């Protein structure tokens, strides 16, 4: 059977997504074109289309990889709070590792097959915990929205907000000055505390 150009090049969809991720990490989202991606892979742009039919499908694939890459904790047999807590932390780590992809996450709906499979499995677990599907979707969207917002305002290793406050003369704002002094590099602590409070609030709805 005659193979297509994409097949003869030995490419796979995963290889295309790997190259796209590396390109965006290195040069930013504006550098990602099908022609440039083909060049990175050593093939013509049309060859890339054998594996991702459009630029939109490519962007959806990049979102899918981030989401699915954080899904391992959800597969574990653990209480739903622990599963969602692990997912949220892994999701935050993935977003912070690929900050140039954050605009894609904010603008592309996660509706690929793998993402929908993941959402269905989360809703099933939450249903077993006592949530109806509508409330379960509320929980899922609340957690993912919180994580994306956290990634947007506190990139990995960034303490710029607290450092700016600490460097200011805040004599007229003694509580804010003390908070900045104590905060230090506690972004992760704040994230965990807020996440735990959110999950506890949802748990109260079914207890």
The model's pLDDT over 45-81, given as tens digits with 9 standing for 90+, comes to 999 999 999 999 999 999 999 988 888 777 677 889 9
Cβ-proximal residues to 12 (8 Å cutoff; 6+ apart), any chain: 51
Domain total of the chain: 1
Chain mean position to CA 202: 22
Residues 6+ apart with CB under 8 A from 84: 74, 122, 139, 143, 199
Cα–Cα distance for residue pair 196/204, rounded to 1 Å: 12
**What is the share, in percent, of the chain residues with pLDDT greater than 90?**
57
Domain hosting residue 135, numbered range: 80-203
- Rg of the chain (C-alpha set): 21
pLDDT greater than 80 at residue 140: yes
Cβ contacts of 83 within 8 Å, gap of 6 or more: 73, 74, 76, 125
CATH number at residue 196: 1.10.357.10
């Amino acid at each position: 059977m005659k193979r297509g150009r994409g097949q003869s090049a030995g490419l796979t969809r995963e290889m295309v997504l790997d190259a796209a991720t590396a390109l965006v990490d290195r040069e930013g989202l504006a550098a990602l074109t099908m022609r440039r991606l083909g060049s990175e892979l050593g093939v013509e742009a049309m060859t890339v289309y054998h594996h991702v039919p459009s630029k939109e499908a490519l962007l959806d694939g990049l979102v899918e990889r981030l989401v699915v890459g954080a899904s391992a904790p959800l597969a574990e047999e653990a209480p739903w709070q622990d599963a969602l807590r692990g997912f949220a932390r892994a999701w935050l780590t993935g977003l912070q590792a690929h900050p140039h992809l954050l605009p894609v996450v904010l603008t592309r709906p996660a509706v690929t097959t793998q993402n929908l499979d993941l959402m269905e499995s989360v809703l099933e677990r939450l249903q077993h915990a006592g949530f109806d599907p509508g409330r379960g979707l509320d929980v899922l969207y609340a957690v993912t929205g919180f994580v994306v917002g956290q990634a947007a305002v506190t990139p990995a290793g960034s303490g710029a907000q607290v450092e700016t406050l600490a460097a200011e003369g805040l004599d007229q704002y003694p509580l804010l000055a003390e908070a900045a002094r104590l905060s230090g590099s506690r972004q992760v602590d704040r994230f965990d505390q807020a996440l735990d409070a959110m999950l506890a609030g949802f748990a109260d709805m079914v207890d």
